[in-house]
A and B are shown apart, each in its own frame.
Chain A
Amino acid sequence: MKTKMHRTVLGAAALSAFAFAAPVLADEDAELIVNGDLSIVTKTAAPAHLSDSLDEILSGWRFRNDDTQVMQMDDFDNPGMLGADVGLDQFAAVMGSEGKSCADCHDGPESLSTVRATYPKWNEAAGEVRTMQMQINDCLTNQMGAEAEKYDSAKMLNFEAMLAVAARGTPVNVAIDGPAQSVWETGKELYYTRFGQLELSCANCHEDNYGNMIRADHLSQGQVNGFPTYRLKNAKLNGIQSRFKGCVRDTRAETFNPGSPEFIALELYVASRGNGLSVEGPSVRN
């Protein structure tokens, strides 16, 4: 596997006719198998709702360089797994005035193995689309009498990493019909809006130009199946909506904040663009 990747990279370098330095390119044909036995779908046919714009969908893993790809192939090398382990401890810890832990109501993370793949999701009782973090906060405050966690806090992302591991390898399957549909439409509109002084939409970079370099960055499809992601750049777990915030800021726009109605809608929409890819978190990215 390793040798094959290296040959591909050398081939690409030899083909490039130009003298300027090019970053090491990803092997977009590599397959992700974790710990030698868990196959992860990182490329598959696009869901029907994307048929006008994409034929296939690709995980961000495919666009990372060899070293970063390899880090995610073994849980001992994946720094994001530390957060998932802490998440397990948090799951068993008593928090709040009711004297309960998550484990008092849920039979281990395995009993929550469909969560990561299906959120954001319509909650009938609350009459709203909920992200995983909103649901976790609902448990913390209403079931356990604990303080709500801030959006994308380290503790939240540890919970998310743990639940991602519980769902790892299962296909993302976010519902976009029924009562969630109007929120999904809002998210879709945001995805195609050209924000900021650079007038760039998510689609400009992640639909029209994935696979292309933008300066030294190799553009992916901006999928969220790998979240939370451990980024080598800031050496910690990163949340979906914090990533959105960074991308909108980079268009020289007034950005939205994690937890805002706009980003909840956008998360629903972007997650649905990954329907069919495997849950892959905690992933490793640069």
Chain B
Amino acid sequence: MAREVGDPVALDMKTQSTNAFMSGGYALPWAFSPEHDSWKSTLQDFVASRIAPGAAQRTIDERFDPDLALAVGELGAYGLLVPTEYGGQGADLRSLCLATEETAVYDSSMAVTIHVQAISLALLAHLGKDHPDLLLETLPKAVTGEVFISFGLTEPTGGTDAGHIETRAIKQGGDWIINGSKQFITNSGTPFSKYVILFAATGEASGGRSPISAFLVPLDAEGVTVGPLYRKLGWRASDTHPLFFNDVRVPNAALLGEEGRGYAEALRFLTWARLPISAMSAGLVRGCLLDIDRFISERRSFGKPLGDHQAVAFQAAEVAALGSLARVMTYDGAWKYDHGHPIQQEAATAKLLSAEAANKAAYIATGLLGGYGFMEESAATRHYQDARILTIGEGTPEVQKMLIARLLGMGRRL
């Protein structure tokens, strides 16, 4: 925002709270370098001035904003985990978690847009590492946001049983012919959406399930149909569509990684992807706390500010504690990943607890705002809508508990 002569300096978000916890969340000095701090500060300034102002209206209108998406690309958020030789930032997981966390303080729709693009690009770089020409052709423009690459796994009959894939790719000469459909595919219908990393069954089933391969499929290939925009409860300003594949022909060069190993390799590689979702939960909780703080500071009842009533202040304190939990769990896992430690337990635990914390925080926030917490223009209402998917996407609580139980050595049959 331009400032005219004599006007006070625009401090954007920083003017909203002088409380370090409110503006930055539970402090974790051990987890971050000075460069992480600079990145967080840039993100906060960007979110406050570019993302926050229109977040409510975009959500109400279910409107994905292409200009905003491009501005996020200029900042460098999409390619954080892409190697520098492909135009990426070559950054660590904490940097991506900071991006999704700070964005979700105001706009979970944009946060998931970043998340999906970032994990898709990282996965493409990983699965396609034997195809440098393909990566050089696709990744540099995807890093800037000029090209979106979506992640096509979920099917109408899939869900938690993601390995049950009915989309099939059959080899024909030197090409693959793909038939099937995918649903709930984020970033697949934007003006920048050019590719989908598609998971399809290839070959014959052995032991009950067909091997699953990954392909990079252009969305403008003949036979690909991008279905209509989903009307969603939350993440309403993100772009989500079904995809249909009818005799889609792609060359063998579109096969990512080893034939029949794409799904297994993607699952193994993407263990960390639960942590940026956990970070979104932490950001959403802070967004709830900011809206609570604004409301209970301004609103008076029985002759004093709402926040001076212990029954209210205790609920705000609980939201703060939930946010602390989500933040600690997120960055504990991300720090360990960045330092080469295994994170299966950390990722599942963080995702489980943070997503549930976000739902509880949003429930408290909407309650504290009373009638305003039921109005669509209210931030608390938006957070309430956006919180629900956090316990569903990237694995339900039951999936996380199953993973944790396995790591405890319980129930190999789970």
Please say whether chains A and B are actual partners in one complex: no
Q: Which residues of A contact B (CB under 8 A)?
A: none
